């Protein structure tokens, strides 16, 4: 349920309420290895009801909502869960985009994102409600491709989520000579970087040799976007400890792509 109202020509606010049931389930027939223990614990916890109220404050000065060339678009969201239900958390996220025309055919875009989620009332945030790094933060990464991860040998090496993240992007869009603008095809180049951290779950499990070491900084970069992608990945990880998480990851490449958000995301 959601309602909203404009406050000014550029500023608006929306309020919402949601209630839903969530659960982590494991299908033994599809498992290729033993799931990480945090995933097993989340599945054993069973279903939980989430009752949350939230608001979104938006600020928009874009000159064109479909193909902007100048202006700012900001969305600040907050959600408070715990007004009934089984889960207590406060989640805050911000998504900011700034457009500026460098020439009549070239537009620069700065995109910044950030988020924080924390439990309250003595309850931790369930794993399923934490943040997971992927192409929505840094393009080129697979879903759940970066962030705190269990690297215990013999396990499924799952991403275990984090409570904080940031991501930023610098992008240039330009028209392609000889291609009519109504086709919606543009050449783009960009650099993305981001970090996701703050795993608050257990890092050692009684009766098990499995441990988790979370990364304090995780970043990635990709130049280019779209249907054709040529690049390479550089990874650095300390595997001297069982379950150590990746310390860093950088991805680079180049592409000429379709502007209509046709993004190539694959595990590399």
Q: What is the CATH number of the domain that holds 94?
A: 2.40.160.50
Q: Give Cα separations from 212 to 26, 33, 128, 215 (angstroms).
A: 20, 17, 18, 10
d(CA 16, CA 54): 5
137 domain residue, yes or no: yes
In the chain, which stretches have pLDDT less than 70? 202-268
Determine the pLDDT at residue 227. Answer: 34
d(CA 217, CA 214): 9
71 domain residue, yes or no: yes
* Count of alpha carbons within 13 angstroms of residue 247, beta-carbon side: 6
266 domain residue, yes or no: no
Locate 114 and state its tokens.
């950030």
49 domain residue, yes or no: yes
157 domain residue, yes or no: yes
260 domain residue, yes or no: no
Partners of residue 16 on adjacent β-strands: 2, 54
Structural domains of the chain, count:
1
Listed in sequence order, the residues at least 6 apart from 247 whose beta carbon sits closer than 8 Å to its beta carbon are: 215, 217, 218, 236, 237, 238
* Numbers of helices and strands, H then E, in the chain: 1, 10
- What sign has the CA pseudo-torsion 7, 12, 15, 16? positive
Q: Which of 45, 3, 53 is nearest to 24 (CA)?
A: 45
Determine the pLDDT at residue 146. Answer: 87
- What sign has the CA pseudo-torsion 38, 41, 46, 52? negative
Can you give the residue range of the structural domain that contains 239? 2-254
262 domain residue, yes or no: no
d(CA 99, CA 172): 10
**Could you count the other beta carbons within 10 Å of the beta carbon of residue 33?**
12
263 domain residue, yes or no: no
Q: Summarize pLDDT for 217-253 with one digit per residue, the tens.
A: 444 555 544 434 333 334 433 332 233 333 333 344 3
DSSP summary character for residue 123 = -
Determine the pLDDT at residue 153. Answer: 84
């Amino acid at each position: 349920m959601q309602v909203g109202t404009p406050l000014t020509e550029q500023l608006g606010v929306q309020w919402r309420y949601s209630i839903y049931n969530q659960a982590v389930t494991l299908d033994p027939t599809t498992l290729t290895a033993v799931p990480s223990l945090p995933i097993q614990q989340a599945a054993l916890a069973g279903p939980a009801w989430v009752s949350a109220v939230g608001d979104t404050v938006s600020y928009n000065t874009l000159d064109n909502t479909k193909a902007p060339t100048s202006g700012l678009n900001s969305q600040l969201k907050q959600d408070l869960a715990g007004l009934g239900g089984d889960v207590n958390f406060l989640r805050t996220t911000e998504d900011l985009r700034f457009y500026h025309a460098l020439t009549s055919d070239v537009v620069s875009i700065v995109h910044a994102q950030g988020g924080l989620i924390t439990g309250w009332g003595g309850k931790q945030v369930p794993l399923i409600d934490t943040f997971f790094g992927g192409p929505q933060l840094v393009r080129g990464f697979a879903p759940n491709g970066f962030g705190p991860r269990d690297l215990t040998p013999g396990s499924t090496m799952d991403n275990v989520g984090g409570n904080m993240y940031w991501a930023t992007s610098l992008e240039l869009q330009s028209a392609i000579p000889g291609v009519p603008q109504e086709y919606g095809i543009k050449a783009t180049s960009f650099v993305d970087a981001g970090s996701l951290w703050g795993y608050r779950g257990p890092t050692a499990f009684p009766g098990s040799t499995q441990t988790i070491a979370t990364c304090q900084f995780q970043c990635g970069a990709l130049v280019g976007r779209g249907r054709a992608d040529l690049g390479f990945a550089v990874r650095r990880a300390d595997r001297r400890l069982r379950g150590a998480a990746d310390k860093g990851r950088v991805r680079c490449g180049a592409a000429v792509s379709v502007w209509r958000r046709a993004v190539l995301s694959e595990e590399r």
